């Protein structure tokens, strides 16, 4: 790379033994191959196919199967189908597979529907927030986010309609993954017929085995390991640290496009703002592209995009072109983008943290873990040998944490606690946590819930607390909604709550329409623009029948109660 000093891939000094992904799934594409024969042939070539009988026997004889499957093993799409074909979905039962991210649930469901030969939403469906593409009578294979399945326990505490539940990508250890594992362990004692599969590639299998065996019979759980399809990924490190990794990422992408052979490029940045800046810098370079060079298609990939926009990254680049996908860690696991050969890793991600002393949650940019770096590098070795350019030194890599701390240890526990209380789990000390949350965070959340009137002095939910637990928004927002009637400003508070429930209320399209939309977005952040939009949404300065004080009091009083 001109202007940048990388250790060359394959050299002894900087070479990393962590040269491939260890937690990716098999190919996820938005459309099926042309014939059922090619689909079946593809299924049979996956490493998991030779383990079919062993897996089904393990599920039959053990309550919990801990599945360790390497890159490309096919566990996410194939194991639910094996269970379906062997009769686990008979008599109206459903086989569920949870995913930590929406795009994984939707794209994998599309692939499985094509393999099963059914319309998406019929025998195979998915459920994510704000979108349910399934049939209550006909769907037998259901892909959903772990948060959606956990919320279902509030309605059906024993999850009685499921025969098998597969918790996929468990290594990500989101709040709802940890809560689900604890609740499912409890459900297993009430419903021994329920089978659990905990699946990942970098999962600490022995630790999870010990977790499920604790308090149960030794044959409660077993470990099954699969072989995956591996392609080597050569690692290159920077020789010296850099001040602006976004700018350098754009330069590396440009140099790869001009100098390297065919293959798409995947760039990992920390957030949407960095992605947009990188795309802008690359767009400015495009006019200087030599005539003989292949076209460079620029794509963003982050959670703020619609499902259709996210699925664009799975489409082939086309003849004479190369894709450059600028992504957050959404592309780190669960989904596999076909054709990626080059990975550019900034070494950073946005991580949610919580300070129990101040009661403030924040989303901060922080260095990734070694496990995440390994996972990112492996994205380049999914279909062929690849390269990973790490925008940090080898010494910096060696000082990274081995793994990312579980989210339950660094988040506000108000919502998880009130939901556990709603399930009848009153004694949090006896709840079997996979990783125990900090005592200070638990105490702070309990104090806030009592002060807000959602729990009584004995730690039991009040009437308002039971209502708040059923509302699919943050506790503070739910409390504000239910209390708005006391200030006669329900319509205004509902609008405010809806606007806070989405990442961004503005959709910025491409071209001239996008420029106009960006101007409107910037106006919204200014005081005069805010007044205009309040009036447009029916939230004029005469809110609450002319008494804006009531609206302000509802906003401040109810949220202050939670802060203690």
Same domain as 341, residue 239: yes
* 182-189 own/partner pairs: CB under 8 Å, 24+ apart: 182/431, 182/432, 182/433, 182/434, 183/150, 183/153, 183/423, 184/159, 185/211, 185/212, 185/432, 186/425, 186/432, 187/157, 187/158, 187/159, 188/63, 188/64, 188/216, 188/220, 189/216
C-beta atoms surrounding 364 within 10 Å: 10
Give the pLDDT score at 18.
Answer: 29
Same domain as 466, residue 376: no
Q: How far apart are CA 109 and CA 120, in angstroms?
A: 7
CA 404 to chain centre: 14
Same domain as 268, residue 198: no
Q: Which domain holds residue 49?
A: 36-226
Q: Which of 558, 535, 556, 547 is nearest to 489 (CA)?
A: 547
| Boundary of a domain, candidates 226, 252, 274 | 226
Q: How far apart are CA 153 and CA 185, in angstroms?
A: 13
The answer to whether residue 114 is domain-embedded is yes
The answer to whether residue 106 is domain-embedded is yes
**Distances from the Cα of 551 to the Cαs of 84, 170, 233, 476, in angstroms?**
53, 42, 57, 15
* 553-559 own/partner pairs: CB under 8 Å, 24+ apart: 553/487, 554/480, 554/483, 554/484, 554/486, 554/487, 554/489, 554/493, 555/480, 555/493, 555/496, 557/483, 558/452, 558/476, 558/479, 558/480, 558/483, 559/476, 559/479, 559/480
Q: Say if residues 211 and 434 touch (Cβ distance below 8 Å).
A: yes
Same domain as 264, residue 211: no
Q: Say if residues 225 and 73 touch (Cβ distance below 8 Å).
A: no
Same domain as 423, residue 357: no
Give the pLDDT score at 551.
Answer: 57
The answer to whether residue 6 is domain-embedded is no
Query: pLDDT digit of tens for each residue in the chain (564 aa)?
Result: 555 666 544 444 333 322 222 233 333 333 333 334 467 777 887 888 899 999 999 999 999 999 987 666 788 899 999 999 999 999 999 999 999 888 889 889 999 999 999 999 999 999 998 789 999 999 999 999 999 999 999 899 999 999 999 999 888 888 999 999 999 999 999 999 999 999 876 667 888 999 999 999 989 999 998 876 668 899 999 999 999 999 999 999 999 999 888 899 999 999 989 999 999 999 999 999 998 889 999 999 987 787 778 888 988 888 889 999 999 988 887 677 888 999 999 999 998 888 887 777 788 899 999 988 988 998 888 778 899 999 999 999 999 998 888 999 998 999 999 999 999 898 888 899 999 999 999 999 999 899 888 999 888 999 988 888 888 778 888 888 888 878 888 778 888 887 777 666 666 666 677 777 777 767 665 544 444 544 554 544 334 554 556 556 655 555 555 555
| Boundary of a domain, candidates 226, 252, 268 | 226
Same domain as 167, residue 49: yes
The answer to whether residue 352 is domain-embedded is yes
The answer to whether residue 14 is domain-embedded is no
Q: How far apart are CA 238 and CA 258, in angstroms?
A: 20
Coil, strand, or helix at residue 533?
helix
Q: Report the predicted TM-score, pTM, of the whole model to 2 decimal places.
A: 0.78
Q: Say if residues 554 and 491 touch (Cβ distance below 8 Å).
A: no
CATH assignment at residue 483 = 1.20.120.1080
CATH assignment at residue 356 = 3.40.50.300
DSSP letter for 251, please: H
Q: How far apart are CA 462 and CA 456, in angstroms?
A: 6
Give the pLDDT score at 481.
Answer: 82
Query: Read out DSSP for 17-67?
Result: S--S-SS--S---SS--S-HHHHHHHHHHSGGGGGHHHHHHHHHH-SEEEE
Cβ neighbours of residue 341 under 8 Å, at least 6 residues apart? 261, 262, 263, 264, 265, 380, 383, 384, 385, 386, 387
Straight-line distance from the first to the last Cα atom of the chain, in angstroms, rounded to the nearest whole number: 54
- List beta partners, residue 318: none
Q: How far apart are CA 243 and CA 116, in angstroms?
A: 50
Same domain as 237, residue 220: no
Give the pLDDT score at 152.
Answer: 93
Q: Which of 498, 502, 482 is nearest to 490 (CA)?
A: 482
Q: How far apart are CA 159 and CA 144, in angstroms?
A: 14
Q: How far apart are CA 474 and CA 483, in angstroms?
A: 14
The answer to whether residue 447 is domain-embedded is yes
Q: Say if residues 275 and 302 touch (Cβ distance below 8 Å).
A: yes
Same domain as 357, residue 237: yes
Same domain as 68, residue 201: yes
C-beta atoms surrounding 438 within 10 Å: 14
Same domain as 436, residue 386: no
The answer to whether residue 478 is domain-embedded is yes
| Boundary of a domain, candidates 407, 431, 449 | 407
Q: How far apart are CA 444 and CA 446, in angstroms?
A: 6
Same domain as 442, residue 545: yes
Total number of domains in the chain:
3
The answer to whether residue 13 is domain-embedded is no
**Distances from the Cα of 325 to the Cαs of 90, 295, 556, in angstroms?**
42, 14, 42
Same domain as 183, residue 67: yes
């Amino acid at each position: 790379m001109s202007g940048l000093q990388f250790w060359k891939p394959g050299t002894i000094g900087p070479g990393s033994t962590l040269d491939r992904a260890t937690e990716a799934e098999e190919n996820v594409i938005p459309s099926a191959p042309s014939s059922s024969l090619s689909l079946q042939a593809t299924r049979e070539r996956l490493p998991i196919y030779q383990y079919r009988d062993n897996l089904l026997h393990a599920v039959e004889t053990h309550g919990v199967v801990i599945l360790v499957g390497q890159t490309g093993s096919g566990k996410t799409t194939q194991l639910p189908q094996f269970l379906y074909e062997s009769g686990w979905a008979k008599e109206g039962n459903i086989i569920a597979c949870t995913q930590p991210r929406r795009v994984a649930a939707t794209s994998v469901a599309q692939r499985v529907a094509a393999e099963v030969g059914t319309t998406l939403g019929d025998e195979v469906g998915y459920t994510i927030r704000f979108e349910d593409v399934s049939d209550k009578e006909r769907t037998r294979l259901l892909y959903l986010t772990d948060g959606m399945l956990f919320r279902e326990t509030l309605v059906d505490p024993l999850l009685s309609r499921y025969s098998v539940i597969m918790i996929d990508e468990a290594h990500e250890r989101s709040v709802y993954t940890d809560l689900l594992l604890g609740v499912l362990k409890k459900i297993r004692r009430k419903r021994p017929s329920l089978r659990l599969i905990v699946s990942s590639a970098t999962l600490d299998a022995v630790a999870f085995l010990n977790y499920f065996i604790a308090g149960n019979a030794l044959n409660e759980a077993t470990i099954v390991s699969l072989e995956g399809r591996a392609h080597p990924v050569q690692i290159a490190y920077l020789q010296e640290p850099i001040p602006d990794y976004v700018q350098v990422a754009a330069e590396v992408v440009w140099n790869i496009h001009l100098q390297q052979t065919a293959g798409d490029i995947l760039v990992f940045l920390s957030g949407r703002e960095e992605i947009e800046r990188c795309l802008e810098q690359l767009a400015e370079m495009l006019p200087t592209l030599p005539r003989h060079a292949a076209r460079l298609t620029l794509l963003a990939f982050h959670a703020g995009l619609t499902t259709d926009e996210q699925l664009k990254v799975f489409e082939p680049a086309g003849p004479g072109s190369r894709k450059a996908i600028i992504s957050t860690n959404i592309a780190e696991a669960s989904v596999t983008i076909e054709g990626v050969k080059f990975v550019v890793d900034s070494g950073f991600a946005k991580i949610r943290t919580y300070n129990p002393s101040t009661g403030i949650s924040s989303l901060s940019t922080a260095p990734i873990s070694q496990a995440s770096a390994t996972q990112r590098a492996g994205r380049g070795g999914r279909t062929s040998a690849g390269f990973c350019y790490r925008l940090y030194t080898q010494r910096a890599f060696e000082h990274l944490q081995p793994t990312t701390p579980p989210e339950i240890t660094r988040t506000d526990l108000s919502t998880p606690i009130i939901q556990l209380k709603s399930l009848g789990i009153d004694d949090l000390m006896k709840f079997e946590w996979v990783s125990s949350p900090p005592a200070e965070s638990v105490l702070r959340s309990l104090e806030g819930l009592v002060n807000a009137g959602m729990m009584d002095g004995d730690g039991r939910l009040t009437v308002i607390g039971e209502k708040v637990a059923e509302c699919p928004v943050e506790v503070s927002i739910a409390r504000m909604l239910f209390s708005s009637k006391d200030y006669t400003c329900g319509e205004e508070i509902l609008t405010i709550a809806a606007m806070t429930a989405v990442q961004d209320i503005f959709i910025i399209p491409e071209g001239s329409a996008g420029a106009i939309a960006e101007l409107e977005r910037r106006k919204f952040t200014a005081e005069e623009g805010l007044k205009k939009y309040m009036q447009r949404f029916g939230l004029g300065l005469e809110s609450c029948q002319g008494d804006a004080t009531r609206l302000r009091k509802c906003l401040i009083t109810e949220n202050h109660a939670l802060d203690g």
